[in-house]
Amino acid sequence: MPAVRVLAAALLTGAALLAPAGAALAAGPSPKPGGSAAAPTEAGTAFRTATPVKLGQEATADASTGDYLYWSFPLDAGQRGTVRAKVALPPSASRHATSTWRIDVYDGLRRRQPCMYGVQAAPAPKESATLALSCTLRPVRTGADTWSDDPLPGTYYLRLTVVDLAQEDLGQPVRAQVQADAKDTGGAYAVDGALAAPLVPGITAARQTAAGTGPEDGWSGPWWSDRWIWTAAGGLLGGLAGIAGYRLTRGSGRTAPRA
């Protein structure tokens, strides 16, 4: 029947439109590693001196137990960031008790961001040689209400420190490895509105510009997301389905000949 053919064509058209969008969402623009630039080998000791790192780049630092270690990295709208830290602990023979380590992530306004999942804090028994921590953040939004603490585009800070330690173990040498990655979440988390500019504090912004640790393609525009693709495809499918339904319900439109 013609109506069946119209409906089949509508379904095929919708599948053709949605397949590339779905593939783009599944793949997403993967963050590129730091490239040829040397990976950082030190950490800052405060927000103002945080060491910038690129997404996908592994940074290291030698420090003393009890130090506060800071790194900064960029996150753009639509990205869900994950930070990982690994601590090489002092030899067990020189340690006196279990220690507890923790990572925290702050945005450009220095608001601590909660972890959706991951091991944010963990104890390191006396016999442990290493300790691994991780934190996956909420997706970054293009805009938010002034009273909310929603993550926004800009600079993010990673802080690593020990929060429970025997007094005798202070000052012992440790080595930290950290890495920040991001995954594109697509338009599912997009909202209306946008910031006038990313939350990049002045001093860190200058250091990021010098080190080239901002997004390689620049900060995203405020209006585009793949929700436009799904909205357009849904509207087209709805229109085609309406035509098909009309053809099915109106019948052949022919009348029986009069005697």
For residue 203, the model assigns a pLDDT of: 57
- H or E stretch at 181: strand 173-184
Average pLDDT score over residue span 141-167: 89
C-alpha span between 111 and 73 (Å, rounded): 15
Among 18-22, 57-61, 134-138, which stretch is predicted with the lowest mean pLDDT? 18-22
Among 163, 89, 167, residue whose Cα is nearest residue 125: 89
DSSP 3-state of 192: coil
Give the E-state strand segments of 8-68 in sequence order. Answer: 51-52, 58-64
30-186+193-216: what CATH class? mainly beta
Q: 173-184 and 51-52 as β-strands: parallel, antiparallel, unpaired?
A: unpaired
Choose between 235 and 231: higher pLDDT: 235
For residue 253, the model assigns a pLDDT of: 54
For residue 208, the model assigns a pLDDT of: 56
pTM as predicted: 0.71
Instruction: Work out the angle between the directed axes of helices 227-249 and 2-27 (0-180°, nearest 10).
Output: 170
Average pLDDT score over residue span 14-34: 45
What is the dihedral sign for C-alpha 122, 152, 202, 181? positive
Place of tokens 């504090």: 201
User: Taking the CB of residue 202, how many other CB atoms lie within 10 A of it?
Assistant: 8
User: Taking the CB of residue 242, how many other CB atoms lie within 10 A of it?
Assistant: 11
For residue 258, the model assigns a pLDDT of: 60
Instruction: For the chain, give the percent of residues with pLDDT over 70.
Output: 68
- H or E stretch at 2: helix 2-27
Q: 79-88 and 58-64 as β-strands: parallel, antiparallel, unpaired?
A: unpaired
Among 18-32, 49-63, 205-219, which stretch is predicted with the lowest mean pLDDT? 18-32
Average pLDDT score over residue span 20-30: 44
Among 117, 138, 124, 132, residue whose Cα is nearest residue 178: 132
C-alpha span between 245 and 165 (Å, rounded): 71
| pLDDT tens column, 27-61 | 444 444 444 568 999 999 999 999 999 999 999 99
Assign 166 a pLDDT band (cuts: 50, 70, 90).
Answer: very high
User: Taking the CB of residue 256, how many other CB atoms lie within 10 A of it?
Assistant: 5
- H or E stretch at 82: strand 79-88
